[in-house]
Every structure is written in C-alpha cells, then in structure tokens.
C-alpha cells in the first residue's frame, strides 16, 4: 500500500476574489492538518474571466477564462495545485492537466437574494432579476415570463453590491458561495431543484494538477470525497457529451438515494421556450458506472433533439 508522502512545501494557485481565496485557504488548512510540517502558500492570480466584466461569459469564451492563468502556473511550476469551483472547470481538460480530487459538496442549489422580496413569486411584473447564467436565465424566462432578466457579472461581492445599489430587485447566485463566506443570512430562498436544476459540479470544489506531478495525486487523495466525485462525474459526462459551456443553458445534477445515483438534466433555448429534460438512476459504485449513467441521460436528451438547442462553439 502506498503511503502518503510528506511534502516540504506546496503552492496553491487561486483567483483573487474573496470567495476563491476562501476556497484556497480552506484547502490550505485541510492540507496543513494532513501535513503539519509542510509550508503552504497561496499564489493569487487575476484571470481574464475576472477582468472582462462588460460582456456575458457566453460571448467572451466561457468558463475556461477562469482557469487558464492558473493552469499556466501549474505548467511552469509556480504552483503545485489549483483550486476551482468545479462548475467553472471546462468539461474537457486541456492535455496535460487533470482533476486530482473533488471535495465534499456544499449546498448545490441556487439561491434567491433580495432586499425586498422573499421569493420569486413575490416579485412584481417588470421586476429586474440579475444572473450570470444562461441556465438560470432560461428557467426564469420559462417560469416567470413577467420578470426582466438582466446580465450580472463580477465576483460575489460585486454582484451583491449591485443589488444593494438598487440595480436589481433580486439576483440569483449559487448558495454554496454565500454559505462559504458566511453570507447565508442573505439567502431569501433556496430555489427548488425542479425547475432550477443546478449546473454540473455546482457546490463542489475541484483541485487541478499538472499530470506530470504524480506525487500530488497521492498528497491530495485524503481530500477526495468518493460520493461527490461519482455524482459530479455523472453530471460532467452529460455536459461533456452535449458540449456544455457558458454558451449552453444546460443543467445536470445527481443525488444519492442509498446506493442509487439519481441524475436529472435539461438543455434549453436561452429564451426558455424550448426545453429537453431527462432523468435516470442506477446503482453506482465506481467511475465507469457513474459515467455510463451520465451517457444514458445525455443520449436521452440527444434523442429528444437537444443538439439543435446547442450553439456552435466560439471560434
């Protein structure tokens, strides 16, 4: 049996937003408990996704904008690992990079945040709701056509600031980020999984490494949560098969019911007028079974015509 090495030093690459740094610090503290003699530092970086705030992600290159600079740091040796919100990690990793582990998932649902309204049903006609997600936008347009949906970019604090300045009547955020930053009191309502099925990987932290750094797989192994790993693997397989990106209103979320993994997904047009939905469950004990479940749901969506709802990738 291979024993864990005792690394002398580790560097964690992270975006510099408050939430990203919280996540990096959380991983640092977990590693410090495992390897108390190790010197662990955090390399804060600003990504293109953080810099481009005047356009929606679907128009400027998608989720990969949040990870490319961190991957460069892994490749050139400035960092040993990078911590990501897993929903921001592209479904197809660049050659030479891999997810080494996925940590136990926090709350996966979307959250309604508002200073004046307790639920989406309370919002009056014409109220402005902010979101950065085409997935959330499609659901809002389908379920609440009387509301105005407007783009909302920036880190978590920036988004909350725009709400507090009165630019929006309500905004929708991932509940996990609010809870991690001690802002759960700002959540007016957790939105139901139907119809607000989360994005693949939402609520989970993924740790990326360069594939040549084989020792890191062993170092990080104790942080991996097998149940979350299998659930998000099924979700990410759906998204991978359907070309999931910020250009696609696509949801995929799996929950455990005993040994059964229950997976649901949808693909929608941005206006919410067209939607393909699928769900399946099966016993899952390993990665292969998880990905087979994901393939089953993806195939169901494709048979329903989901491919016609997916735009061509950006050049």
Catalytic residues: 88
CA distances to 6, 245, 293 from 265, rounded to whole Å, are 41, 14, 12
Q: What's the CA gap between 186 and 201, in Å, rounded?
A: 23
Residue-wise burial string across 243-266, b where 16 or more C-beta atoms lie within 10 A, e elsewhere: bbbbbbbbbbbbeeeeeebbbbbb
Residue 58: name the closest of 165, 133, 163, 158 by CA.
Answer: 133
Cβ proximity of 81 and 74 under 8 Å: yes
For tokens 């929950």, the residue is 255
| Maximum separation of any 2 CA atoms in the chain, in Å | 63
Cβ proximity of 61 and 314 under 8 Å: yes
Distance between start and end Cα atoms, the chain: 47
Q: Which residues pair with 254 in a beta bridge?
A: 263
Cβ proximity of 66 and 49 under 8 Å: yes
Q: What's the CA gap between 164 and 118, in Å, rounded?
A: 15
Order of strands across the sheet that contains 170-174: 148-151, 128-131, 170-174, 110-113, 187-190
Q: Which residues pair with 172 in a beta bridge?
A: 112
Q: Going by DSSP bridges, is the β-strand pair 170-174/128-131 parallel, antiparallel, or unpaired?
A: parallel
Q: Going by DSSP bridges, is the β-strand pair 97-102/148-151 parallel, antiparallel, or unpaired?
A: unpaired
Q: What's the CA gap between 124 and 41, in Å, rounded?
A: 48
């Amino acid at each position: 049996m291979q024993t864990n090495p005792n690394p002398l030093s580790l560097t964690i690459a992270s975006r510099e937003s408050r939430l990203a740094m919280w996540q990096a610090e959380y991983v640092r503290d977990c590693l410090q408990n495992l390897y108390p003699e190790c010197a662990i530092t955090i390399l804060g970086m600003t990504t293109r996704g953080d810099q481009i705030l005047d356009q929606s992600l679907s128009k400027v290159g998608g989720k990969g904008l949040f990870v490319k600079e961190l991957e460069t740091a892994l490749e050139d040796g400035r960092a040993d690992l990078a911590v990501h919100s897993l929903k921001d990690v592209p479904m197809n990793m660049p050659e030479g990079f891999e997810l080494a582990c996925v940590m136990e998932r926090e709350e996966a649902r979307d959250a309604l945040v508002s200073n004046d309204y307790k639920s989406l049903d309370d919002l009056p006609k014409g109220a402005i709701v902010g979101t950065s997600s085409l997935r959330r936008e499609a659901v809002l347009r389908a379920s609440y056509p009387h509301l105005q949906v407007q783009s909302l970019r920036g880190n978590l604090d920036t988004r909350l600031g725009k709400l507090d300045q009165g630019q929006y009547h309500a905004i929708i955020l991932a509940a996990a980020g609010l809870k991690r930053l001690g802002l759960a009191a700002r959540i007016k309502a957790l939105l139901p999984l139907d119809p607000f099925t989360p994005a693949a990987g939402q609520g989970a932290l993924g740790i990326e490494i360069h594939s040549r750094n084989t020792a890191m797989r062993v170092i990080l192994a104790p942080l991996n949560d097998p149940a979350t790993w299998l659930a998000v693997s099924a979700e990410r397989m759906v998204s991978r098969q359907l070309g999931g990106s910020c250009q696609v209103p696509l949801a995929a979320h799996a929950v455990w019911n005993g040994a059964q993994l229950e997976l649901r997904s949808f693909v929608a047009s941005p206006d919410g007028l067209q939607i393909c939905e699928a769900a399946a469950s099966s016993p899952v004990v390993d990665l292969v079974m998880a990905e087979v479940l994901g393939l089953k749901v993806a195939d169901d969506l494709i048979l329903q015509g989901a491919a016609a709802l997916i735009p061509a990738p950006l050049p």
